């Protein structure tokens, strides 16, 4: 039995996943697991998409690369998709949203996103694609949607998630005693 939870922090690129994970790692002691970094470091790519200007992940290779770590628990999994992770690995799925499309568009443009990729991500955010994927892949009671548009929302989101982590740990300890 894990003594620390695994949490996916997901959402469209540009919603603040990495900022949330870095803050939560400091606040909770959980470890930030950047799937982008793992994919690069462990060569988990299938191909390169010229139109979008991005790499396509080999999901099986990626899952094999992180399985031993994640099964131990205590990870904040930072990735723009969540439906590839087995349900048994995950205790909470946080879907970050940025409903102000002008703010969101400016964030992606500031990153130098290719127009096709930028528009695809804006559309995904408008239509809540990643939230729907999360609800389809996991039990709805572990899927939480949080806005990540303003700086103060990052702070309040991290406080809320840190409180959840403490509650999860307390429940695990109580169940271990039974």
Residue 87 maps to a domain: yes
- pLDDT given for residue 9 in this prediction: 98
Q: Into how many domains does the chain fold?
A: 1
Is 74 labelled a binding residue? no
Examine residue 71 and state whether it is found in any structural domain, yes or no: yes
The answer to whether 52 and 9 have CB atoms below 8 angstroms apart is no
Per the annotation, does 95 bind a ligand? no
Return the number of other C-beta atoms located less than 10 Å from residue 33's C-beta. Answer: 22
Strand bridging mode 54-57 / 45-49: antiparallel
Find the domain containing 31 and state its range: 7-170
Residue 97 lies in a domain: yes
Is 31 annotated in some ligand binding site?
no
pLDDT greater at residue 23 or residue 13 = 23
Mean pLDDT of the chain: 93
pLDDT > 70: what percent of the chain? 99
Q: What is the 3-state secondary structure (H, E, C) of the chain?
A: CCCCCCEEEECCCCCCHHHHHHHHHHHHCCEEEEHHHHHHHCCCEEEEECCCCEEEECHHHHHHHHHHHHHHCCEEEECCCCCCCCHHHCCEEEEEECCCHHHHHHHHHHCCCCHHHHHHHHHHHHCCHHHHHHHHHCCHHHEEEEECCCHHHHHHHHHHHHHHHHHHHHHHHHHHHC
Residue 52's pLDDT band, with cuts at 50, 70 and 90, is confident
- CATH number, domain containing residue 91: 3.40.50.300
Tell me the pLDDT tens digit for each residue of 88-135. 999 999 999 998 888 888 888 898 887 888 888 889 988 899 999 999
Residue 53 has pLDDT above 80, yes or no: no
% pLDDT > 90, the chain: 72
In a domain, 178, yes or no: no
Question: Is 12 annotated for ligand binding?
Answer: no
Specify if 177 maps to a domain. Answer: no
User: Would you say 111 is a known binding-site residue?
Assistant: yes
44: confidence class by pLDDT, cuts 50, 70, 90: very high
**Residue 150, annotated ligand binder?**
yes
CA dihedral 87, 92, 98, 99 (to 10 degrees): 80
pLDDT of residue 155: 95
Residue 19 lies in a domain: yes
- Give domain status of residue 175, yes or no: no
- 18 assigned to a ligand binding site: yes
- Whether residue 2 lies inside any domain: the answer is no
């Amino acid at each position: 039995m894990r003594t620390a939870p695994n949490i996916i922090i997901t959402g469209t690129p540009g919603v603040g996943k990495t900022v949330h994970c870095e803050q939560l790692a400091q606040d909770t002691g959980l470890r930030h697991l950047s799937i982008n970094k793992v994919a690069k470091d462990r060569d988990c790519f299938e191909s390169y998409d010229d139109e979008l200007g991005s790499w396509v992940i080999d999901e099986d290779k990626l899952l094999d690369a992180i399985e031993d770590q994640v099964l131990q628990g205590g990870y904040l999994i930072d990735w723009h998709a969540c439906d590839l992770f087995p349900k048994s690995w995950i205790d909470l799925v946080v879907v970050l949203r940025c409903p102000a499309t002008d703010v969101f568009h400016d964030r992606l443009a500031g990153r130098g996103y290719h127009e096709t990729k930028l528009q695809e991500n804006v559309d995904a955010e408008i239509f809540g694609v990643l939230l729907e994927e999360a609800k389809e892949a996991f039990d709805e009671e572990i899927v939480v949607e949080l806005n990540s548009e303003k700086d103060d929302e990052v702070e309040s989101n991290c406080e809320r998630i840190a409180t959840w982590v403490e509650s999860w740990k307390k429940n695990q300890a109580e169940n271990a005693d039974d």
